[in-house]
Amino acid sequence: MMVCTALVFFMHSGFAFLEIGLTRQKNTINILFKNIFIITVGLLMYYIGGFNLMYPGEFNGFLGFAGFGLETDAAGVSAAYADGGYTYWTDFLFQGMFAATAATIVSGAVAERIKLGPCMIFTVIYVGLVYPIVGSWQWGGGFLSTLGGEDAGFYDFAGSTLVHSVGGWGALVAIWLLGARIGKFGEKGKPNAIPGHNIPMATAGVLILWLGWFGFNGGSVLSADPALTSLVLTTTCLAAAAGGIGAFAVSTLAYKNYDLTMFLNGILGGLVGITAGADLMTPNEAVMIGLISGAIIVGGVALIDRLRLDDPVGAVTVHLICGIWGTLAVGLFGSKAGADQLLYQLAGVGAAGVFCMLSALTIIFTLKKTIGIRVDRQEELEGLDLHEHGMDSYADFRMNQH
């Protein structure tokens, strides 16, 4: 569990590299700054209140709070916690490493045009309140976990919905309210590709994220049961590989081009897709879920473009669309498959979607009407690094003007 916590922590590097790699050089410092802020403030917010909002103990199933800070008495840290499977501190830290992920997903989608201040305010609220409340509905023993009675209900092994789509819904609302980057859509709304400035860094990011998923899914077994943990790692890796191959195959057929970023996003799609049911699937089912995730990536990216939404890193496609797909896949494949389960899964997707969209809408709309959320035209053209940070990400290199 503690090793898994370290791996999940390292995923934040993966997100950071992926985001800067797929965007332009002139906004690199800004993106790194946001990511570092999210990691640090996310952990502190989770410490201050998030953990006890997500795991409130006995509660009404919708909202509960067990108080600020952490227990520090002997009982709290005793080996008897969680039947000895892991300790109270491990539980906090492992969950705390997840917490910031939802905000990171949003941060990637709004890159290159959002003001830093409102982005930080959004992060604090979304990580501190929205994410743990949704989490409490299922992992805290809330209403989603008992939709079908005591022994049945919504199922989300490691967070296709509770982590990835929570971030994805926020990202969707944010890019809609924020608008596209200057130059993204030409006359008649024709989308232009804005190439990322460092594809090796983006590739590194995806490989680090895959590595982190060993911890994310492996640790979510919440015990050291070797048989189940190793099955989960196997399904996770097979789905990732199949996701990449699926996206590669579909995009090569569709566009007659070997597109590396599609391949990379396919891997991430496969990982998000298997996350809800990684412990329920056979290897064949994992491969199937991965292949479909890969195909969804190619279609989803085209769809987002068609909707005139500008998502520089593909966050909505990867985390929201594949998150929904993975959640529903629990009702279609694997040991829980069935009509009832599919309904529970739909209910979970819907409940998270409505709450997250309303929350994000409220927060971001308020910010937009008060302090504003978008940098001005000159700053966007010249880069946020120069205007917000007065720094250059690669001081010794000449850049092309974009």
Of 147 and 237, nearer to a second copy (C-beta) is: 237
Phi first, then psi: what are they for 285, rounded to 5°? Answer: -65, -35
Q: Is 381 in the site for a second copy (CB under 8 A)?
A: no
Neighbouring residues of 47: CB distance < 8 A, sequence distance ≥ 6: 69, 70, 92, 96
Interior angle at CA 341, CA 338 and CA 346, nearest 5: 125
Q: Is 257 in the site for a second copy (CB under 8 A)?
A: yes
| Cα end-to-end distance, the chain, whole Å | 45
Q: Is 220 in the site for a second copy (CB under 8 A)?
A: no
Task: Dig out the tokens for 109 from the structure.
Answer: 């989608």
User: Which residue from 137, 109, 175 is spatially nearest to 355, judged by alpha carbons?
Assistant: 137
Of 326 and 334, nearer to a second copy (C-beta) is: 334
**The binder of a second copy chosen from 95, 161, 229, 341 (CB under 8 A):** 229
Residue with tokens 């070997």: 258
Query: How would DSSP label each residue in 152-181?
Result: -----SS-IIIIIIHHHHHHHHHHHHH-PP
**The binder of a second copy chosen from 109, 163, 174, 240 (CB under 8 A):** 240
Structural contact between residues 201 and 20, judged by C-beta atoms closer than 8 angstroms: yes
DSSP state of 387: I
Q: Is 67 in the site for a second copy (CB under 8 A)?
A: no
Closest distance of CB 91 from a second copy, Å = 8
Q: Is 211 in the site for a second copy (CB under 8 A)?
A: yes
Q: Is 216 in the site for a second copy (CB under 8 A)?
A: no
Q: Is 182 in the site for a second copy (CB under 8 A)?
A: no
Rounded to 10 degrees, the C-alpha dihedral 62/215/316/26 comes to 120
Neighbouring residues of 51: CB distance < 8 A, sequence distance ≥ 6: 70, 92, 95, 96, 132
Distances (CA, A) of 280 to 82, 218, 232: 22, 13, 8
Task: Dig out the tokens for 322 from the structure.
Answer: 């594949």
Closest distance of CB 220 from a second copy, Å = 13
**The binder of a second copy chosen from 62, 192, 365, 394 (CB under 8 A):** 394
**The binder of a second copy chosen from 113, 115, 184, 197 (CB under 8 A):** 197
Binding to a second copy, residues 162-181 (CB under 8 A):
none
**The binder of a second copy chosen from 66, 124, 129, 204 (CB under 8 A):** 204
Closest distance of CB 283 from a second copy, Å = 5
Region near a second copy per CB under 8 A, out of 30-38, 121-129, 173-181, 340-348: 30-38
**The binder of a second copy chosen from 180, 238, 292, 324 (CB under 8 A):** 238
Q: Is 66 in the site for a second copy (CB under 8 A)?
A: no
**The binder of a second copy chosen from 119, 231, 349, 351 (CB under 8 A):** 231
Q: Is 350 in the site for a second copy (CB under 8 A)?
A: no
Of 17 and 139, nearer to a second copy (C-beta) is: 17
3-class secondary structure per residue, 46-57: HHHHHHHHHCCC
Region near a second copy per CB under 8 A, out of 82-90, 101-109, 148-156, 162-170: 82-90
Print burial letters for 212-241: b (CB count within 10 Å at least 16), e (below 16).
bbbbbbbbbbbeeeeeebebbbebbbbbbb
Residue type, 384: L
**The binder of a second copy chosen from 188, 190, 369, 398 (CB under 8 A):** 398
Which alpha helices (H) appear in 22-87, and where do they start and end?
28-45, 51-54
Q: Is 115 in the site for a second copy (CB under 8 A)?
A: no
**The binder of a second copy chosen from 52, 53, 56, 86 (CB under 8 A):** 86
Closest distance of CB 24 from a second copy, Å = 6
Helix axes 199-219, 226-255, angle to 10 degrees: 150
Alpha-carbon distance of 400 to 164, in angstroms, equals 35
**The binder of a second copy chosen from 143, 148, 191, 234 (CB under 8 A):** 234
**The binder of a second copy chosen from 122, 248, 333, 344 (CB under 8 A):** 248
Region near a second copy per CB under 8 A, out of 56-64, 228-236, 335-343, 370-378: 228-236
Binding-site string for a second copy from residue 268 to residue 307, where x marks contact by CB under 8 A and - marks none: --------------xxx--x--------------------
Q: How many residues bind a second copy (CB under 8 A)?
A: 99
Phi first, then psi: what are they for 311, rounded to 5°? Answer: -125, 90
Q: Is 396 in the site for a second copy (CB under 8 A)?
A: yes
Residue with tokens 């690094």: 385
